[in-house]
Amino acid sequence: MLHDQSAGEPRPVNRRLVLAVMLAGAFVAILNETLLNVALPRIMHDFHVTANTVQWLTTVYMLTNGVLIPVTAFLVQKISTRVLFITGMGLFALGSLVAGIAPEFVIMVIARVVQASGAAIVLPLLMNVILAVYPAEQRGAAMGLVGLVITFAPAIGPTLSGWLVDHYNWHLLFFIVLPIAIADMGFAYAALPNVLTLTNPRIDMVSIVLSTVGFGGLLYGFSDAGTVGWHSAVVLGALAVSVAALALFLWRQLHLSVPMLEFRVFRVRPFTLSTVITVLVFMSMFSAMLLLPLYLQNDRGFSPFSSGLLVMPGAIAMGIMSPIAGRIFDRAGGRWLGVAGSVLLVAALLRFTAVSDSTSYLSLMIAFVFMMLGMSLIMMPVMTAGLNRLPPHLYPHGTAVSNTLQQVAGAVGTALLVTVMTEGAKSFMAAHDRGPSLNPVALVNQASVHGMNRAFLMAAGFAIMSLVLCFFVQSKPRSEAHGIAAADGKAVTD
């Protein structure tokens, strides 16, 4: 039986209670990531800032996550489970409070950094705890609930945000999550045990600095490319510096006796395969999350609430299917779940490649439902299949690498899709602006839709690649861990 690792007599751990407490924290942390998207125009008006400036509220949140998530591999081995979780939720709650009462824009940006600092701790910690308290043959069901949180929370964010902004004001977005975060801290203090084994690794400040510059610069460069273009000196400079820093970071990790982030996890082929699939799926998912609201509001004239409401049935379908998919994974493994999910994802994205200025709201909603059902079958089953093959001492590194690359995939995918959309619209304008057949407004709308169709086509390409790779995912889970051989450093790759 699993026991609490804190000092004194060991006591049994209530796994369901642990999971419930940590899922509540992960839910509000991830919900907050997309909650502001619909409210940005109102915030621009209240603080008198431009669109480029207000985007920092979302960009800085993602940047902070990308910088801090790699450090969690060190933190979970250094700080007890309860203290680390309460610290993460405390930072998130403090940031929410300050953001809700922020008198000026700069204060709000700082508050978002504090919020993201807490959120960056919570999700990797949750995944490490699941790997510690659940045996491999039962992790699918638990990870299915994590998958529900990862995709359900961002999906309902725009709907909830749109309704609140339409009827009240954007300050309420922060005051809604604040009491949930505070209550969860109380539950964690009373009921969350210390279940992770602490190895007390030595802190390596050089690694932290290189990781911060490398991952932070990479995320910033790709994020800014979607706004100012790939030829911007700032974008090229950020990407060049980040690549150099990441190369030094990788070299240092491979030569440290106890690395901050163990990149040898990629010697375990099933983990590498699942990570590549997850990255491709994240890049596909971001297409709909980014492009659909733009299409509905800018090209079709729907309200923010109507735009957000379109994703609600898909979120509900995701919420129902994720735990079911997890239980199926525990019985049958991740291969056919991943294949089926990828087929649904490809079908939905191919439908989005044919949207026009008269596509029905209902058909878009149905396509989004198929997309979310596909996501529920791919994300956590495939990720769990890879993590299960790591030896236990690499769990913190595997979860940190996986979560970091998801952040990078979001930034890269967004930048690529925005670029394809913009270039597609420009090419359409160049081909049609000399004829008398279209008035200027209709021409701009059709060009925008054409650009989105091309961006969705690229996203479908990512999904097709994930479909092919899912055929190589392990078909049945194994309870034993396979990974790096301790004696000679050679990986087990069967």
Beta-bridge partners for 491: 484
What whole-number distance in Å separates Cα of residue 197 and Cα of residue 459?
40
Domain-terminating residue out of 201, 228, 249? 201
Confidence label for 145 from pLDDT (cuts 50, 70 and 90): confident
Query: What is the three-class DSSP state of 382?
Result: helix
Backbone φ and ψ of 75, nearest 5°: -65, -40
Give me the percent of the chain exceeding a pLDDT of 70.
89
Domain check: are 216 and 181 in the same one?
no
Q: What is the pLDDT of residues 462-489, one digit of tens each?
A: 999 999 999 998 776 444 444 433 333 3
Cα torsion 66, 67, 68, 70: sign:
positive
Asked if pLDDT for residue 193 goes beyond 90, the answer is no
Of 470, 479, 475, which is closest to residue 389 (Cα–Cα)? 479
pTM: 0.80
Q: Which residues contact 410 (CB under 8 A, 6 or more apart)?
A: 62, 282, 283, 286
Domain check: are 195 and 208 in the same one?
no
Domain check: are 222 and 306 in the same one?
no
What whole-number distance in Å separates Cα of residue 488 and Cα of residue 486?
6
Domain check: are 210 and 183 in the same one?
no
What whole-number distance in Å separates Cα of residue 323 and Cα of residue 291?
28
Altogether, the residues listed in the chain come to a count of 494
Q: Which residues contact 1 (CB under 8 A, 6 or more apart)?
A: 12
Domain check: are 280 and 323 in the same one?
yes
Of the listed ranges 17-21, 38-42, 437-441, the one predicted with least confidence = 437-441
Cα torsion 470, 472, 477, 479: sign:
negative
Q: Which residues contact 276 (CB under 8 A, 6 or more apart)?
A: 469
pLDDT at 436: 56
Domain-terminating residue out of 186, 201, 216? 201
**Tokens (6 digits) for 207:** 């690694």
Domain check: are 377 and 434 in the same one?
yes
Give me the mean pLDDT over the 113-130 stretch: 90
Give me the mean pLDDT over the 60-76 stretch: 83
Q: What is the pLDDT of residues 78-107, one digit of tens each?
A: 899 999 999 999 999 999 999 999 999 999
Domain check: are 206 and 174 in the same one?
no
Domain check: are 350 and 401 in the same one?
yes
What whole-number distance in Å separates Cα of residue 356 and Cα of residue 375?
25
Give me the percent of the chain exceeding a pLDDT of 90.
25
Asked if residues 3 and 13 have their Cβ atoms less than 8 Å apart, the reply is yes
Give me the mean pLDDT over the 135-148 stretch: 82
Give me the mean pLDDT over the 447-473 stretch: 91
Q: What is the pLDDT of residues 241-265, one digit of tens each?
A: 999 999 999 999 888 888 888 888 9
Exposure string over 60-73, b if 16+ CB within 10 A, otherwise e: bbbbbbbbbbbbbb
Q: Which residues contact 126 (CB under 8 A, 6 or more apart)?
A: 22, 23, 25, 26, 146
Q: Which residues contact 370 (CB under 8 A, 6 or more apart)?
A: 344, 345, 347, 348, 351
* Sequential DSSP letters for 56-84: HHHHHHHHHHHHHGGGHHHHHHHS-HHHH
The better pLDDT of the pair 162, 436 is held by: 162
Backbone φ and ψ of 389, nearest 5°: -90, -5
Domain check: are 29 and 120 in the same one?
yes
Domain-terminating residue out of 152, 184, 201? 201
Give me the mean pLDDT over the 362-371 stretch: 91
Instruction: Provide the domain count of the chain.
Output: 3
**Tokens (6 digits) for 108:** 């709000």
Domain check: are 3 and 56 in the same one?
yes
The better pLDDT of the pair 420, 457 is held by: 457
Instruction: State the residue range of the domain holding 229.
Output: 202-259
pLDDT at 159: 73
What whole-number distance in Å separates Cα of residue 217 and Cα of residue 260?
19
DSSP character at residue 297? I
**Tokens (6 digits) for 6:** 């804190």
Domain check: are 230 and 315 in the same one?
no
DSSP character at residue 295? I
Asked if residues 354 and 455 have their Cβ atoms less than 8 Å apart, the reply is no
Domain check: are 192 and 207 in the same one?
no
Confidence label for 3 from pLDDT (cuts 50, 70 and 90): low
> CA-based Rg of the chain, rounded to a whole angstrom?
22
What whole-number distance in Å separates Cα of residue 263 and Cα of residue 272?
11
Q: What is the CATH number of the domain that holds 393?
A: 1.20.1250.20
